[in-house]
Each structure stands twice: as C-alpha cells, then as structure tokens.
Amino acid sequence: MYEELARLWPAVERILDEVLDLPEPGRTARALAACDGDPALERAIRAVLRADDESRGFLERE
C-alpha cells in the first residue's frame, strides 16, 4: 500500500491538508469527493485516513 501512497503523494497530501482537521463522517466523505472518481486515489485516501486513525498513539509518549 505504501508504494501506491508514495506514487500518488502530491495529490493525497493536497486532499489531506483540506480534511485532516475535520470530524468524521464528513472527513472521509469530503476526501473521497475530492478524488474525482479516481479509484486509485480513493484507495490511497482510504488507506491513509485509516493509517491516520490507527497511528494516533504511534511514536507518541502518552
């Protein structure tokens, strides 16, 4: 999955910068809408949002 994320990173990062601070479910909906129906980008966005959720405590002290 990371390979795909890295390949699409400029587009993924642009979308993340817009949605990262939004609460769910609006966050995912808005992020997916920004993919313009591109299935690879949608997959990358779902993966990175899941990684963001799961990595909250990752590398953090508390």
Partner 1 sequence: MGEGEGKPGKGTTQPEGAPGEITVLLIEARSGDPNARDRLFESVYAELKTLARREVRRHSASATLGATALVHEAYLRLVDQTRADWNDRGHFFAVAARAMRQIVIDHARRKGAAKRGAGDRAVPLEEGHASVEASLDDVIAVDEALTRLAETSPRLVQVVELCFFAGLTTEEAAEALSTSPATVKRDWRKAKALLFAMIRPEP
Residues that bind partner 1 (CB under 8 A): 1-2, 5-6, 9, 13, 16-17, 20-21, 47-48, 51-52, 54-55, 58-61
For partner 1, give the closer residue by CB, 8 or 37.
8
Smallest gap from Cβ 29 to partner 1, in A, equals 19
What proportions of the chain, in percent to the nearest 5, are helix, strand and coil? 65, 0, 35
Smallest gap from Cβ 62 to partner 1, in A, equals 9
Contact between 31 and 15 under an 8 Å Cβ cutoff? The reply is yes
Amino acid 5 reads L
